[in-house]
Amino acid sequence: MSSYVFPIQYAFLVFGLGCYVLFIPWLIYTYRKDGFFSWWRLILSSSFLFYLLCALFLVLLPLPDTRDTCSMQTENTVYYSLVPFTFVGDILKETSIVWSQPSSYFQLVKERAFLQATFNFLLLLPFGVYLRYFFQKREYWKRALGLGFALSLFFEITQLSGIYGIYNCPYRLFDVDDLILNSSGALFGFLVAPIVLALFPSTKSIEAKRASVMESDIVLPVPQLLALMIDGIVVQFISGLFGFLLPFGWLTEVISTSLGMVLAFYFIPLFWNGKTIGTAIMRFRLVNEVSGRPSATSLFKRFLALYFTWFVMYTSNVIGQTERWMESAFYPLLIFFTFGVIVVISLVFLIHGLIVVFSRGRRRFYFDHASGIRPSRKNLHS
């Protein structure tokens, strides 16, 4: 049992690290695709990733203690078995059941050859269930069988190659029976999947909600924040380019960041139909709440609101780190004041952001409210 528990524990650890790294990119993808957050899509995507990791690690782990696996094997070691259905003969040879005594059949579930064949059959059965959800139609069973075979072949080649050269000799057997049983399991999972999938939302219900969100022209707060985050990265990239051209110092940082912000938050949307790079990725644009079209005045007000926020935070931080004031008797008071400004502004923004996010589109962020701007998905390509 421990030989199965350890790979699953390792898969869980890697899965956790993967979620930490991929959560924001996944949010960008799902809001860009659907326009809303779907718990079902999150559960489906996460469970599929976790399952694939478990399947991979169950096949590969535990790893040998040394890369020189050749030294652990005899000279005539055979690394492959190409005779199909050998597992049937192994089961018949090792079994202790008496075919004329049905009560002895229960012994089969305790025998190594039977358990190994069952494991190989069940390994890709969930893969077939996932494929049925993705493909929906039963007519795609050949595609499911082919993908199950391809995934099984990937596992077998990975083993035969010593994980593509990491180990100088294979440490597990390439077995054609594994290909047969894995592929059969994937096909079986694909065929019986409707029994399981009947308990969960269908893709049609998710697509219907997606169409409703798109038609309502509502852009939820989370994709707006994601677009703002992307635009912040753009600002850092632009300011970094300008920083190479100017001497190092706080003034250079102010000038380069100011240029980056005015380009990312004003000039790019001004000449690109109300779209910043972030809003374009998230599939919406910025329009005047009255006219429904991009407005130079509104875009400039929005830029000023964002720029003022950054400038106050940056100035407070710089003042607290200026060396000429460190010898002043008022320096502790100055530190307390600047730190207090940063903490208060951060708390205000946090509370404001939470209120807007939980309003689910009924409220706007302060920079959009102050500039008379609202996000829109209409006429996105005009």
234-291 pLDDT per residue, tens: 999 998 887 777 777 777 888 889 999 999 999 999 999 999 999 999 989 999 988 8
In the chain, the N- to C-terminal Cα span, in Å, equals: 61
Over the stretch 223-237, which tens digit does the pLDDT of each residue have?
Answer: 999 999 999 999 999
Burial of 327 from C-beta contacts in 10 A (0-12 / 13-18 / 19+): exposed
Round to whole Å and give the CA distance between 242 and 255. Answer: 8
Name which residue leads in pLDDT, 325 or 300.
300
Long-range contacts (CB closer than 8 Å, 24 or more residues apart) made by 207-216:
209/34, 209/36, 209/38, 210/33, 210/34, 210/35, 210/36, 213/34, 213/35, 213/36, 214/35, 214/377
Q: How do residues 37-65 score in pLDDT, each as one tens digit?
A: 878 888 888 999 999 999 999 998 888 88
Say what the pTM is. 0.77
Cα gap 120→179, rounded to integer Å: 9
- For residue 62, cis peptide bond before it (omega within 30 degrees of 0): yes
The residue that leads in pLDDT, 363 or 109, is 363
CA nearest neighbour of 29 among 324, 282, 269: 282
Q: Which residue has the higher pLDDT, 148 or 313?
A: 148
Q: How confident is the model at residue 331 (pLDDT cuts 50, 70, 90)?
A: low
